[in-house]
A = this chain, B = another copy of it.
Amino acid sequence: MAMDGYRGFLGLLVSALLVGFLCVLFTLIWVLHYREGLGWDGSALEFNWHPVLAVTGFVFVQGIAIIVYRLPWTWKCSKLLMKSIHAGLNTVAAIFAIISVVAVFDNHNAKNVPHMYSLHSWVGLTALILYVLQLVLGFFIFLLPWASLSLRALVMPIHVYSGLLLFGTVIATVLMGVTEKLFFALKNPSYHTFPPEGVFTNTLGLLIVVFGALIFWIATRPQWKRPKEPDSILFQPNGGPADGMEGAIAISSGNNMDKSDSELNSEVAARKRNLGLDEAGQRSTM
């Protein structure tokens, strides 16, 4: 990565972190200042954990999990470590999301309100189930060492697509949740009289859209991908690092596949390289 590309990346990363923190902060202000606060007693206090955990875990932590491979200073770390961080963050996001759903079910039970009647709940629960499925499949196929390289190459484009699609769907679900809550709760004064809570929470919705847009941009720039290692180095254990990187470019470009397909075919080689590579050699790949 050239120096100006690196600066551009840092600028976008800091923006994403800042907007992400603002999303969490705005959600906390919403429930603590405008709503009833937080608690775990079946009341509205428990319901309020729903937006807090959904935005913190399912939006912010998931967003960071998506871009964690893109941080240039992690390119020295082994792929296994980075996969563990990616899986760990997504697990945290899933746990937050599950607790956030439990909070709503508890609250509905306490109030005798039916479950799962709104479009928000249909899309949200579908997304959560598929998210857990994606996590489990990712764990068995990419993190555990037993899946074949050809299976990983087959599943990787689907994994990347599903991950981004689920992230977008979660954001859409949060926007529906905000809409639903404001139409439901803002009666006196009504939402359409522009009460401070309405304007404030609309702003939160816009911030969540901006956070999603930043994560999508960072996650889809080809020049910010973790450099991949060539398939061929598997068969050339004594190949030097410089040769290795040139080989990567030549090989990955010779076919018409998604670049991510071939990237994962060489973890063993990558770990070997990470052990033997000097600082300057690494930096030349950034």
Q: How many residues of A contact B (CB 8 A)?
A: 50
Is chain A's interface secondary structure helix, strand, loop, or mixed overall? helix
Q: Which of B193, B222, B250 sits near A258, CB closer than 8 Å? A: B222
Q: Which of B123, B205, B256 sits near A175, CB closer than 8 Å? A: B123
Interface residues of A in 172-215 (CB under 8 A from B): 172, 175-176, 178-180, 182-184, 191-194, 198, 201-202, 205-206, 209, 213
Kindly report which residue of chain B lies nearest to residue A173, judged by CB atoms.
B175
A150 within 8 A of partner (CB): no
A117 within 8 A of partner (CB): yes
Complex CA distance for A205 and B157, rounded to whole angstroms: 26
Contacting residues, chain B, for A193 (C-beta < 8 A): 114, 117
A168 within 8 A of partner (CB): yes
Q: A175-B123, A176-B176, A182-B118 are in contact. Are A249 and B257 (CB under 8 A)?
A: no
Q: Which of B168, B192, B202, B216 sits near A119, CB closer than 8 Å? A: B202
Are A175 and B209 in touch, CB under 8 angstroms? no
A109 within 8 A of partner (CB): no
Q: How far is the CB of A83 from chain B (nearest CB, A)?
A: 22
Complex CA distance for A29 and B54, rounded to whole angstroms: 33
Q: How far is the CB of A8 from chain B (nearest CB, A)?
A: 13
Kindly report which residue of chain B lies nearest to residue A160, judged by CB atoms.
B220
Complex CA distance for A220 and B164, rounded to whole angstroms: 11
A148 within 8 A of partner (CB): no
Contacting residues, chain B, for A201 (C-beta < 8 A): 119
Complex CA distance for A164 and B119, rounded to whole angstroms: 23
Contacting residues, chain B, for A213 (C-beta < 8 A): 165
Given contacts A117-B193, A119-B178, 10 further A-B contacts (CB under 8 A): A118-B183, A119-B202, A120-B179, A123-B205, A164-B216, A168-B172, A171-B172, A176-B176, A179-B179, A249-B254
